[in-house]
Structure 1
Amino acid sequence: MTVSMNFEGAAAAETAPRDLDYAQTMLAAAAIGIVGGIVATTYYLVLEGFMHLVWHTLPEQLEPFFSESFPATNYVWIAASVGGLLVGLTLYLMGLPGEVSFVVEKVHDPGRIDIKQTPAMVVASLFSIMAGGSAGPEAPLVQVNGSVGGWMAQKLGLTLRTTRIFTFCGMAAALGAFFGAPLGGALFALEIPHRRGLEYYEALIPATLAAILSFVVFRLTTGLSIGGMYHFTSIPPLTLINLAEGAVLGAIGAAVAALFVLVFRTVGWLTRPLERRTVLLATLGGLSIGLIALVFPQTLFFGEREIETIIETGSTFGITMLLMIGLAKMLAISCTLHSGFRGGFIFPLFYIGAAVGLAIALGFPQVHPTIGMVCTMAAVNVAITKTPISTTVILSVLSDTAMVPVIVIASLTSFLLTINLNMIKTQRSRSIATGEARPGADAGDRTPDTAAPPLQPEG
């Protein structure tokens, strides 16, 4: 009897979740960051190859087959439709990988993302972006790298708390590489699970380390420059009036975000009858993206490089055209995401903000174009993602400006005005290890800090 009890006790000790000391956690974070940088580099190079093939090589080779009665501009909707078909076939054959809401839910509990969904997410997102969809690579990279971190923790048999830290390290590594702003990427990964501010403080330093190392690996291997992605022609010296403008632009950005949510939900309602017809819905989604692009070619792709076009030549479009482009981009994002395409909406939201912000600056010359664009970009994104701090840091780096005060005012104004505007339904308060939810948290937030249980198949 004693031997049996000792044996059972030893077995329980072997299977009990274990934790790491701080040095071990930081070492693991560094490893996750390096792996994350390699994953981001591989994804980037494959994506660039696909994009060059579909939007440069093939159009040149197929141009002789078009005629005056069927001009080459039709290639846009054909390519987008074929891309949609490929997305649909991927989802049908490989399963439905989760979206942003899925990732946020799994971060809370069980603290990790099922790595089995990684292949479907990689393939579907590559086809989605290749087709010209208004969805970026940040969400796929977050899911892929986040699942790698969680997988590592699962193999080591770690507690839920440490498993979640590893997952955050993977997410931060993805965003640090993609945004080119390691601190902003780490903060974004930690803010996105919540509606009212960062709560998983214990993951901040490990996630930042992972983001920095991923950023270094990504920049070294791709040869991309370090510094601001967008180059504004002039950056005004900040005054108190500019700070007030930031608040006004934050309110306008919040209103724009509310309009986007309305458009998004309307498209979702219209596509609901086709939800179970995966291939047809994705193909029609690709067709709709292509048709929108025939009228507004600026809406193609996820907006990272297209924002630079708005900065350089947007003033020639005029106020009305800029506002129409912003509205068309809302429709393009909605068609993209509701048709099953996989990708993130951060840069598409930035693009909407840039177009509307420049239109405001053209209509009210006292508002500097740089302030108008950057503040509205921040406000629109914050209203949807609830990430005021990280958005401020990211945009300050991307714009290569010293406008943190005015950006943060716009961000916080938008955040406060849209506190009840919920687009990512799974955002919530953290799960407390002791089982005691903090004041104001829902009872459903109470999850004991035990070993991460195995994921159940998604329905």
Structure 2
Amino acid sequence: MRSFHMPAAGKWMLLAMLIGLLAGLAAILFETMISTAQHFALNRAAGFIMTEAEAQYSPLPDVEGELAPLGLLAVLTLGGLVAGWLTWRFAPEAAGPGTDATIDAYHNKRGDIATRIPIVKIITASITLGTGGSGGREGPIAQIGAGIGSWLAKRLHLSDRDRRILLATGMGAGVGAIFRAPLAGALFAGEILYRDAEFESDVIIPAAVASTIAYSVFCFSLPPEIRFVPVFGDEVQFVFNSPLELIPYGLLALVLVAAGVLYIKSYNWIQQGFQNIRLPLYVKTATGAFLAGLVGLGLYYSGGKNPQLLTVLSGGYGMLQSAFSAPEKIAISTLLAVAFIKMLTTSLTIGSGGSGGVFGPSLVIGGCIGGAVGKTLQGIAPYFVTQPAAFSVVGMAGFFAGCARAPFSTILMVTEMTGNYQLLLPTMWVSTLCFLMMRPWTLYAKQVPTRLDSPAHRGDFIVDVLEGMIVEDVYQHHRKLRMIQESTSLNEIVHLLAKTSQRYFPVVDKQEKLVGIFSSDDVRSYLYDDVIWEIANARDVMSTPVITITPQDDLNTALSRFTSLNIDELPVVAPEDPQTILGVLRRKETIAAYNRRRLEHKQATADAAR
């Protein structure tokens, strides 16, 4: 495998297919473990029966029971304790969402994820989510898939660059499988790494292949009636009637931005608070799960035992399904209560170190806020807003696009999860507004602004800058350069060295055409042999062929030629006649030009940030 290079498409197709197969199997195992934990811990032990999205599937039979509040608190706390202890004991890196740790491994750890991490993550996340923790599946499966890609790269002894690509490929494959959104999974892998509108282009094609394979493998584990069906079913259909509807959707974006900033700040504040507490991780996760349970039960009883309010615990996709299919049965107050309390329960569950993602809760939060805004605007202008449930779909995408700084993959993911492409324009409109207005905030602290800021691309930046500058703009055209005729004796050359600071001397013939070059170091070996001074001439000490550069060559080419023979000066020759010398380019001039351009870029970036 190491004998292949990036242009070898067969290598990447083979590796991507293998990662897709493994990630798909991991997604099946992960989903099965969550379903099993929910069945025995929540349904049977606590009597907590969750409503799910239409096409979500559990192989275990449904049970009926009555909610036992103390049992639910015990299950939540015990789940947090066990998951936290396993993380603390075997893989502290697996604490929290998982996506941030994966992004950090890509940028700062050369794509290296310890093999134990995905193993521990799949267990702890299954326990956390299966016992009612408010979290999503995307963070854990992203880290699990990324761990598979990193493991495979290490087994094949691939380069750091290849390992990073396979890490991101595995991340996209896992996300594409678990959410049944293969195209979005591929874009997610390339987009989530950066805070600005930037893509990791090398990742997109292998991630698309791997995500498609993983999605297919995962779907074949489902019953035929829901196989290849979007998560929220194929009956979620809305229409976009008029461009004028973009006005209320613009108002929705403003509300989502305010809610997104609140969510990020509360999540970071709670997470920092738990980090400042000097207790073992498992004590923190148990405490966070217990507090989340108290908050959820408090909302449930204060709302008249409304079962919809318990979606602030566990996944919450059932609430979204109801918001799509029967919005008239959900009060605005219920939607807002679920949205804002879900922020708190998620922050407590994940911020304390619990294993779960933030994508799933973000969809619930954004969908509920969108539904509430849609119903409110319908009450104000019923002829203008005819489909308030459509605001739930758009709100899902806009909220996470702003919070995660990933607009394109989020737009596509929500579209694939709902199977509705008619809302693509308002979804893009709201997601773009949220992305632009939430620029200073992000859920993922390990994101870097652009490729230029990533340690994974430090060398790329040097090449990009140098390739954007040409020799013509750098070398000194009017510098006086001493040429040496090829017949000049060594005696004359030795005496010339004592009178000039010039280090490299082009050798020319009678027509002033370049035939060779020598340096003062080349002459030094003859200094103590004055017998040969009158016998030897410039042709005897010069080197041929001469490595030259033209005015239109870029500085990256020049630097490569400097380093090929470890020389400090290059003759600049005419493009149409490589024997006509125009001047000389010095290595220190090239480096100085690069430093100037780098400082200019840094200043421009700082000015743009202001």
TM-score after normalising by structure 2 = 0.65
- Which aligned pairs between 1:35-434 and structure 2 lie closer than 5 A? 35-59=22-46, 72-98=68-94, 99-109=98-108, 110-223=110-223, 224-230=226-232, 235-294=238-297, 295=299, 296-365=309-378, 366-367=384-385, 368-402=387-421, 403-428=423-448, 429-430=450-451, 431-432=456-457, 434=459
| Residues 302, 280 of structure 1: alpha-carbon distance in 2 compared, 3 angstrom cutoff | same
1-side partners of 2:122 and 2:431: how far apart? 32
Residues 195-224 of structure 1, C-alpha deviations (whole Å, 9 max, x = no match):
112331122111101000110010002334
Residues 225-270 of structure 1, C-alpha deviations (whole Å, 9 max, x = no match):
2233225665133310123333332232111101112221332344
| Residues 268, 150 of structure 1: alpha-carbon distance in 2 compared, 3 angstrom cutoff | closer
Residues 296-352 of structure 1, C-alpha deviations (whole Å, 9 max, x = no match):
412111233442133345543422232122110000110011111011111100100
Greater displacement, 170-179 / 287-296: 287-296
- Contact 1:172–1:186 (Cα < 8 Å) also in 2: yes
Q: In structure 1, what residue type is equivalent to 2:215?
A: F
Instruction: Provide the residue aligned with 2:469 in structure 1.
Output: none
Deviation at 1:80, TM superposition (A): 0.9
Residues 19-75 of structure 1, C-alpha deviations (whole Å, 9 max, x = no match):
4522111111111111111111111112211111112233469xxxxxxxx982332
| Residues 249, 60 of structure 1: alpha-carbon distance in 2 compared, 3 angstrom cutoff | closer
| Residues 272, 203 of structure 1: alpha-carbon distance in 2 compared, 3 angstrom cutoff | closer
1-side partners of 2:396 and 2:202: how far apart? 29
1-side partners of 2:276 and 2:373: how far apart? 38
Q: In structure 2, what residue type is equivalent to 1:226?
A: F
Deviation at 1:17, TM superposition (A): 9.0
Residues 125-167 of structure 1, C-alpha deviations (whole Å, 9 max, x = no match):
1111022111122211111121111121122222222222211
| Residues 189, 441 of structure 1: alpha-carbon distance in 2 compared, 3 angstrom cutoff | farther
2-side partners of 1:390 and 1:326: how far apart? 22
1-side partners of 2:230 and 2:444: how far apart? 29
Greater displacement, 113-122 / 16-25: 16-25
Bigger CA radius of gyration: 2
1-side partners of 2:393 and 2:141: how far apart? 25
Greater displacement, 274-283 / 146-155: 274-283
Aligned residues: 422
- Contact 1:36–1:174 (Cα < 8 Å) also in 2: yes
| Residues 270, 171 of structure 1: alpha-carbon distance in 2 compared, 3 angstrom cutoff | closer
Residues 355-405 of structure 1, C-alpha deviations (whole Å, 9 max, x = no match):
111111111104322331112111110111111001111111112212111
| Residues 120, 71 of structure 1: alpha-carbon distance in 2 compared, 3 angstrom cutoff | closer
Deviation at 1:117, TM superposition (A): 1.6
Residues 380-432 of structure 1, C-alpha deviations (whole Å, 9 max, x = no match):
10111111001111111112212111111111110000111133121112332
| Residues 133, 105 of structure 1: alpha-carbon distance in 2 compared, 3 angstrom cutoff | same
Q: In structure 1, what residue type is equivalent to 2:175?
A: L
TM-score after normalising by structure 1 = 0.85
User: Root-mean-square deviation (CA), in Å?
Assistant: 2.7
Deviation at 1:103, TM superposition (A): 0.9
Instruction: Provide the residue aligned with 2:20 in structure 1.
Output: 33
| Residues 200, 270 of structure 1: alpha-carbon distance in 2 compared, 3 angstrom cutoff | closer
2-side partners of 1:442 and 1:139: how far apart? 37
Query: Mind listing any 5+ residue stretches in structure 2 that lack a counterpart?
Result: 49-65, 300-308, 379-383, 466-596, 603-610
2-side partners of 1:306 and 1:51: how far apart? 17
Deviation at 1:435, TM superposition (A): 4.4
Greater displacement, 244-253 / 352-361: 244-253
Percent identity over the alignment is 22
Instruction: Provide the residue aligned with 1:67 in structure 2.
Output: none
